[in-house]
């Protein structure tokens, strides 16, 4: 069968024109997806911040924020579902970029109708939550910044146990045996040592009584939550008088047989900033035991 010239031309350009129609749809949906993802990320940050904030509150204020947070979480789920559907539609257009519009028209209409429905719901959620998020954002900005995770590699003691040393201006040196670990710090105007030692022929109570012979003025310190989880039964600090007075902190972990005692010693005693840093190191070293 011989085709007339205009039919030949239609056969040549018809699919190409249809492909262009499909391709022309993608930029709009891609732009919509980008905007949706920005909204989802922003609301996720609000949920994270509000969750941290509600943990600091009590009474009516806590109940009010709990209620608002529940609404934001529910709204976030709705917008996330909308965003996921738009993303799926963009992926469908990419996967069928070479297909004619007519061949994917039915599936495209189904997906587009679903996006339209979810888009309407997402817009309503954004409008309904606007008063809540406007009130929350200034409060969340006043929250303390989350601590930055320390990604430095641990320093190894001769025992093989490792710990991340405080990033201070001086220098550190490590020593020890299979049962002891020791870290010594030195700078121009101060020095410190931190050590842990396992024992099996005494108790933490006996270790505590032995300290009384070194100083009559021993201050009981609160055991931090991380220390309680390790089994630390007491945590004390005292000033040891010497040619140059130094500040000593001692903590003890009880075990069925014996335990582990940790000691942090800082000179001069007045350097409380250094004492706080090596106190944290002391508990980090206990955590390796």
Q: Which of 113, 141, 169 finishes a domain?
A: 141
Residue 263: helix, strand or coil by DSSP?
strand
Same domain, 10 and 136: yes
Same domain for 178 and 266: yes
Q: Does 195 share its domain with 136?
A: no
Sequence-separated (6 or more) residues with CB below 8 Å from residue 268: 189, 190, 244, 245, 246
- The helix/strand/coil state of 249 is strand
Q: Residues 54, 134: one domain?
A: yes
Q: Domain containing 248 — which CATH number? A: 3.40.1000
pLDDT (0 to 100) of residue 226: 79
Say if residue 162 is in the same domain as residue 137: no
pLDDT at site 147? 65
Q: Which stretch of DSSP H or E encloses residue 10?
A: helix 5-54
Q: What is the DSSP letter of 255?
A: -
Considering the domain architecture, whether residues 135 and 168 belong to the same structural domain is answered as: no
Average pLDDT of adjacent 10-residue blocks, the chain of 289 residues: 38 48 88 92 91 89 93 93 93 90 92 95 95 92 72 88 92 93 94 93 87 78 84 90 85 88 92 91 91
DSSP string, 69-111: HHHHHHHHHHHHHHHHHHHHHHHHHHHTTTS-HHHHHHHHHHH
Q: Is residue 149 part of a domain?
A: no
The widest CA-to-CA distance across the chain, in whole angstroms, is 114
The answer to whether residue 146 sits within a structural domain is no
The residue to which tokens 């101060």 are assigned: 190
Token pair listed for 195: 């050590």
For the sheet containing 219-220, what is the strand order? 171-176, 180-186, 191-199, 259-267, 246-254, 232-240, 219-220
Q: DSSP state, 1?
A: -
pLDDT of res. 125: 94
Residues 218 and 273 placed together within one structural domain of the fold: yes
Domain match, 14 and 73 both: yes
Determine, yes or no, domain membership for 195: yes
Are 204 and 278 part of one and the same domain?
A: yes
Hey, which residues does 195 pair with through a beta bridge? Answer: 182, 263
Q: Are residues 203 and 231 in the same domain?
A: yes
Helices 5-54, 101-141: inter-axial angle, 10-degree rounding: 20
Asked whether residue 147 is domain-assigned, the answer is no
Cα–Cα distance, 201 to 257 (Å, whole number)? 7
Q: Are the C-beta atoms of residues 266 and 259 closer than 8 Å to each other? A: no
> In this structure, are strands 191-199 and 259-267 parallel, antiparallel, or unpaired?
antiparallel
Per the structure, the complete domain to which residue 32 belongs is given by 5-141
**Overall pTM > 0.75:** no
Whether 86 and 162 share a structural domain = no
Q: Looking at residue 266, what is its pLDDT?
A: 94
Assigned domain for 175 exists: yes
Instruction: Go through 265-274 and write b for each residue having 16 or more CB atoms within 10 A of its CB, e for each that does not.
Output: bbbebebeeb
- 119, 141, 163 - which closes a domain: 141
Same domain, 279 and 223: yes
* Residue 24, domain member (yes or no): yes
Does some domain include residue 217? yes
Q: Does residue 150 fall inside a structural domain?
A: no
Report the domain count for the chain: 2
Among 141, 164, 183, residue at a domain's last position: 141
Would you say 236 and 211 are in contact if contact means Cβ atoms under 8 Å apart? yes
Residues 6 or more apart whose Cβ sits within 8 Å of residue 140: 46, 49, 50, 53
């Amino acid at each position: 069968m011989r085709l007339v010239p205009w039919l030949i031309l239609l056969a040549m350009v018809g699919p190409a024109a249809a492909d262009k129609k499909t391709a022309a749809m993608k930029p709009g949906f891609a732009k919509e997806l980008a905007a949706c993802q920005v909204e989802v990320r922003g609301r996720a940050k609000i949920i994270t911040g509000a969750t941290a904030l509600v943990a600091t509150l009590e009474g009516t204020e806590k109940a009010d924020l709990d209620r608002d947070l529940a609404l934001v979480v529910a709204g976030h789920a709705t917008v996330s579902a909308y965003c996921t559907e738009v993303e799926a539609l963009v992926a469908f257009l990419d996967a069928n970029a070479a297909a004619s519009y007519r061949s994917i028209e039915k599936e495209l209409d189904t997906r587009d109708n679903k996006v339209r429905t979810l888009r309407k719901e997402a817009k309503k959620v954004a409008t309904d939550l606007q008063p809540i998020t406007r009130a929350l954002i200034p409060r969340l900005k006043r929250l303390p910044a989350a601590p930055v995770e320390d990604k430095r590699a641990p320093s190894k003691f001769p025992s093989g146990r490792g710990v991340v040393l405080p990033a201070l201006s001086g220098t550190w040196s490590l020593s020890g045996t299979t049962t002891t670990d020791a870290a010594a710090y030195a700078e121009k105007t101060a020095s410190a040592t931190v050590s842990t030692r396992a024992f099996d022929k005494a108790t933490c109570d006996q270790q505590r009584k032995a300290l009384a012979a070194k100083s009559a003025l021993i201050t009981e310190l609160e055991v931090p939550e991380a220390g309680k989880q390790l089994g630390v039964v007491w945590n004390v600090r005292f000033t040891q008088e010497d040619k140059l007075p130094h500040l000593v902190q001692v903590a003890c972990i009880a075990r069925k047989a014996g335990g582990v005692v940790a000691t942090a010693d800082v000179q001069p005693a007045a350097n409380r900033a250094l004492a706080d840093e090596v106190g944290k190191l002391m508990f980090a070293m206990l955590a390796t035991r």
